[in-house]
Amino acid sequence: MKPAFGDYVEGIRVMLPLLPGAVPFGMIAGAVAAEAKFGAAAGIGQSIVIYAGAAQLASTQLIAEAAPALIVVLTGLIINLRFAMYSASLAPHFAGLSLRRRAMLAYLMTDQSYALGITRYTADSEMTARAKARFYLGGAIAMWIVWLAATAAGFTLGSRVPPSWSLDFFVPLSFLALLVPGIRDRAAGLAAATGATVAVAASGLPFNLGLFLAAACGIAAGYFCETRWTPKKPQQGEH
């Protein structure tokens, strides 16, 4: 049996290639906060209190546009609704852990930590809940440190990196590297294709609602494809 320490190291190791993608994103979040005239405490502190890039960017943008506080809060939370889906997906893997540990795992949840965690847990059914938590924490803590450093750097430097470098392109590329190897059957492929298509078609919707609609359509498409085309289990009568 591997020592406990090894799980943390393994978690850090698989997260490493994804960290560069978070740097430009975090720097943009910091630079935008500086431009919106946040103080250093609020500009960098929101990375600790909220710790969610897309929501931070959107809420900072709205505050800069002098939107009412309630709208700012609701927008941030709608963007983060996807975390409830991730939470439902991860919950069975973290069952039995202490409340404190589960709270920590929840706080550190990001798109990246979720994707790495769920991919590994699906591939390795032998893992215990404790090993799963250690693997997840290794990568998630590394991401937290990088995110905080990147926002602080962005806040200090402002937007001095020229836009022509297109560093924001690292963000979709990182997610692409997470997505593609996880598509192992037709149903998952259909879910991805549907999600991407609907997201583009609905990108004009306010408050990131397009993302939500796209996720719902993608999940429905995958589910429908699977229940329709895979051999059915014996039915227990009509529901």
Q: Which of residues 36-65 bind another protein (CB under 8 A)?
A: 38-39, 42, 45-46, 49-52, 55, 59, 63
206 forms part of the interface with another protein (CB under 8 A)? no
| Chain residues 123-162 in contact with another protein, contact rule CB under 8 A | none
- Cβ distance to another protein smaller for residue 7 or 214: 214
Distance between alpha carbon 223 and the CA centroid of its chain, in Å? 22
- Cβ distance to another protein smaller for residue 5 or 186: 186
CA–CA gap between residue 149 and residue 151 (Å, rounded) = 6
The residues near 21 (Cβ < 8 Å, ≥ 6 apart) are 112, 170, 171, 173, 174, 175
**Plot region of 35 (φ>0 → left; ψ -120 to 50 → alpha; else → beta):** alpha
21 forms part of the interface with another protein (CB under 8 A)? yes
Number of residues that bind another protein (CB under 8 A): 97
CB 137 → another protein: shortest distance, Å? 13
* Binding test (CB under 8 A) with another protein, winner from 11, 26, 30, 76: 76
163 forms part of the interface with another protein (CB under 8 A)? yes
- Cβ distance to another protein smaller for residue 7 or 111: 111
3-state secondary structure 68-88: CHHHHHHHHHHHCCHHHHHHH
217 forms part of the interface with another protein (CB under 8 A)? yes
The residues near 194 (Cβ < 8 Å, ≥ 6 apart) are 214, 217, 218, 220, 221, 222
* Binding test (CB under 8 A) with another protein, winner from 127, 130, 159, 189: 189
- For 216, other C-beta atoms within 10 Å of its C-beta total 14
* Binding test (CB under 8 A) with another protein, winner from 23, 28, 102, 135: 102
* Binding test (CB under 8 A) with another protein, winner from 1, 3, 95, 231: 95
24 in Cβ contact with 161 (< 8 Å)? yes
- Cβ distance to another protein smaller for residue 7 or 93: 93
91-100 burial code (b ≥16 CB/10 A, e <16) = eebbeebeee
* Binding test (CB under 8 A) with another protein, winner from 8, 83, 121, 144: 83
26 forms part of the interface with another protein (CB under 8 A)? no
- Cβ distance to another protein smaller for residue 125 or 164: 164
Rg (CA), the chain: 19
91 forms part of the interface with another protein (CB under 8 A)? yes
CB 32 → another protein: shortest distance, Å? 14
